[in-house]
């Protein structure tokens, strides 16, 4: 639409569009949250949550336009998502960029229940976004280092307890739980520090994923294993800048629909055999992701 404009102007237009959509929708959701907070009647709270979800879906449509405003992004999609807004699903996804979030919103806006992300505790204090996510019952996870746990052993398992509590809330409203299993965005520095066995990915963390499946596995209809690949940027430059400037022209998406079978539900923390099985299963999924990313880079840059 605005491809004829210079990159700085395209960046400004995209940024303002995303900021305005986030501000309007976020403030509306926070306003609804006041009713939810001051009228603690569960049926009424669930009604308010549905209204907030509707606004959240509106935000998904708004940010989806960011892939069209400056330059129409070509979506190369292998596989599909279920067409069921009233179900429960878990998405496993690699985490390369902040663009992953609007990309997943674009993919789920029409056919899936609105997503819930596991967020870092620090994001709670981001103006508008943090409080809006709180109203939407998104789980904020406070991660502790090995040194902190060594000094305070009672901190061990706190993040898992948070997962358990939030999963109970997810039972009452159709939900797509999104899990970035790597726990953080990929960078070469993190890749080296973690001594990742994968070329383009960080090693996945299996504990939280397994616990969510244990808590809600019988409710989840499918696992959607989604791999996002941005072929034009195999560098350290933030992909979000390419999106804002209209330089992001293609996104590859691989979607594998996996049934939630009994062998994926078990006591990860107290059953060593199941823990080994689940870690092997998740690592195999990551090996497939890594291979797909490698193939896209080879195809686009040969």
Q: What share of the chain is helix, strand, coil (3-state, %, to 5)?
A: 50, 15, 35
3-state secondary structure of 235: coil
CA 159 vs CA 165, 208, 218: distances in Å: 10, 8, 22
Q: pLDDT digits over 7-40, tens only?
A: 888 999 999 999 999 999 999 999 999 998 888 8
Q: What is the pLDDT along the chain (302 residues), one digit of tens a residue?
A: 677 788 888 999 999 999 999 999 999 999 999 998 888 898 888 888 889 999 999 999 999 999 988 888 999 999 999 999 999 999 999 999 999 999 999 999 999 999 887 777 777 778 888 888 888 878 776 665 566 666 776 656 566 666 667 677 777 788 899 999 998 899 999 999 999 999 999 999 998 888 888 877 788 899 999 999 998 755 567 899 999 988 899 999 999 999 999 999 988 888 999 999 999 999 999 999 999 999 999 888 76
Query: Which residues, including other chains, have CB under 8 Å from residue 165's CB and lie 6 or more apart?
Result: 139
As a whole number of angstroms, the distance between CA 78 and CA 81 comes to: 10
pLDDT at 207 (0 to 100): 85
CA 264 vs CA 5, 82, 213: distances in Å: 50, 20, 7
The first and second tokens of residue 213, run together, are 């499946």
As a whole number of angstroms, the distance between CA 205 and CA 257 comes to: 20
3-state secondary structure of 21: helix
Residue 113, Cβ density class (10 Å: 0-12 exposed, 13-18 middle, ≥19 buried):
buried
Cα angle 16-121-147, degrees, rounded to a multiple of 5: 135
pLDDT at 201 (0 to 100): 96
3-state secondary structure of 4: coil
Q: What is the pTM of this model?
A: 0.87
pLDDT at 112 (0 to 100): 95
pLDDT at 251 (0 to 100): 96
Q: In terms of Cα–Cα distance, which of 174, 130, 121, 166 is closest to 29?
A: 130
Query: Domain spans of the chain?
Result: 7-301
pLDDT at 160 (0 to 100): 64
pLDDT at 161 (0 to 100): 67
As a whole number of angstroms, the distance between CA 110 and CA 19 comes to: 22
pLDDT at 229 (0 to 100): 96
């Amino acid at each position: 639409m605005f491809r004829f404009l210079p990159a700085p102007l395209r960046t400004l237009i995209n940024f303002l569009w995303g900021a305005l959509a986030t501000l309007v929708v976020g403030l509306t959701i926070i306003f609804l949250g006041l009713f939810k907070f001051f009228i603690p009647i569960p049926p009424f709270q669930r009604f308010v949550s549905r209204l907030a979800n509707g606004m959240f879906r509106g935000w998904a449509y708004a940010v989806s336009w960011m892939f069209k405003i400056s330059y129409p992004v070509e979506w190369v999609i292998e596989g599909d998502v279920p067409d069921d807004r009233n179900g429960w699903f878990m998405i496993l996804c690699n985490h390369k960029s902040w663009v992953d979030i609007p990309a997943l919103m674009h993919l789920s806006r029409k056919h899936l229940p609105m997503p819930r992300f596991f967020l870092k505790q620090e994001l709670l204090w981001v103006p508008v976004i943090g409080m809006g996510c709180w109203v939407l019952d998104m789980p904020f996870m406070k991660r502790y280092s090995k040194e902190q746990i060594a000094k305070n052993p009672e901190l061990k398992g706190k993040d898992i307890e948070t997962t358990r509590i939030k999963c109970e809330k997810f039972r009452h409203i159709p939900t797509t739980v999104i899990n970035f299993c790597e726990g953080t965005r990929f960078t070469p520095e993190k890749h080296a520090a973690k001594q990742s066995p994968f070329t383009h990915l960080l090693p996945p963390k299996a504990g939280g994923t397994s616990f969510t499946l244990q808590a809600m596995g019988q409710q989840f209809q499918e696992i959607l294993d989604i791999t996002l690949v941005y072929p034009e940027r195999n560098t350290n430059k933030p992909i979000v800048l390419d999106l804002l400037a209209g330089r992001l022209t293609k996104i590859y998406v691989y979607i594998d629909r996996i049934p939630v079978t009994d062998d994926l539900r078990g006591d990860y923390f107290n059953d060593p055999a199941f823990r080994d099985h689940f870690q092997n299963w998740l690592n195999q999924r990551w090996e497939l992701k890594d291979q797909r990313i490698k193939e896209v880079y080879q195809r686009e840059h040969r």
